[in-house]
Amino acid sequence: MKIYKLFFIIFILLSSCVNEQFSLNLSNRELISGLIMSDYGTVDVINDNSVMLYDGGFIALKKPGITDLVSDITVDLKEGEGAWFAIRCASNKNEEHPGILLTYSTNGVLVQEKGKSPVNLVQYKAKIDEPTRIVFRNDCKRYDIMINCDTVYTGWTDLPNTEYVLVKALPKSKVLLTGISMFEKGEE
């Protein structure tokens, strides 16, 4: 009779597997929902609070129900050029929808919003094996981008607030994201 139970358990466990979705911060109840949007093998979820992005690795991090969102991510560039971030957007059909885009690379920081002039901040350059804390703070129409506790850019936008931060490794880059936390404005 035991073999029947084993079959049953294996079957139910198999049916519970959805590999493209993951969760972070399960241990401290600050749950973040993640979605792997790139090919198999380009993203590794490590432990409970870290994600490794390989060449082309693309994830969406979501704090369900919170849109005035403060996202705090430590970016550790292991190889290549850097990473690309997007706020005020969503995972679904993200390529069709506008958002505020930040490219953090060895060439500096580039902030872009459709219809506005890009802002290039060359003094903030990514360096290999040098962890950098990047914070996106959304406050109604205003948003702040902080790098290592410096507010490097403050912008105003008419784009709606969303629950998401999208992160993508630049080509031939390997990026470790650690210390990921997302919370509501005012809870910092």
Partner 1 sequence: MKKYLLFLLFTIVVSSQFWGCISYSRTETDIYTISEMDTTTSYIDKNAPGNRDNGIIYSSSRTVESKRDLIQRDSTVTREYPNFIRLGLFESVGLIGSGSNYAAGMGMFGVFPDFENLKTSYTGGTGKIFSGGLYRFGVVEWRLRWFRDAKDWTYGTSGLEIIMPDARTEYALASIAPLYIRKRWFLREQIPYIAITAHTGIGWYPSQYLNLAGSIDVGSIGGLNVRAYLGLAAGQNPKGSPQVKMSPAFNSSTIKSVTSVFPYFGIGISVLDFLNRVPETYREWKDHEHSSWDIGLTQMILLNSGASSIYNTNNSSTLLTGYILRLANASVALPLLDWKLYAGTSLINFIVLGNDEWGMGILPLRLGIWQTVIMDELSVEPFIEYNYYPSEIFHLGGRLNLRVTEGINLGLAVGYASGSTVRRFGSDMMRQLGKPMSFSRPYIGLSIGIFDRIFFPEHLRYFKDK
Binding site for partner 1 (CB under 8 A): 3-5, 7-19, 39-41, 64-65, 67-68, 90-92, 140-141, 160-164
Q: What whole-number distance in Å separates Cα of residue 18 and Cα of residue 44?
A: 14
Q: What whole-number distance in Å separates Cα of residue 124 and Cα of residue 108?
A: 5
Residue among 127 and 141 whose Cβ is closer to partner 1: 141
Place of tokens 């031939």: 172
Minimum distance of partner 1 from residue 133's CB (angstroms): 25
Residue among 89 and 126 whose Cβ is closer to partner 1: 89
For 158, left (φ over 0), alpha (ψ -120 to 50), or beta? alpha
What values do phi and psi take at 176, rounded to 5? Answer: -105, 125
- Measured between its terminal Cα atoms, the distance across the chain in Å is 54
Residue among 103 and 161 whose Cβ is closer to partner 1: 161
Length of the chain: 188
Minimum distance of partner 1 from residue 126's CB (angstroms): 30
Minimum distance of partner 1 from residue 170's CB (angstroms): 23
Minimum distance of partner 1 from residue 60's CB (angstroms): 10
Residue among 162 and 181 whose Cβ is closer to partner 1: 162
Residue among 8 and 44 whose Cβ is closer to partner 1: 8
Rg value, the chain, Cα: 18
Minimum distance of partner 1 from residue 19's CB (angstroms): 5
CB 21 within 8 A of CB 34: yes
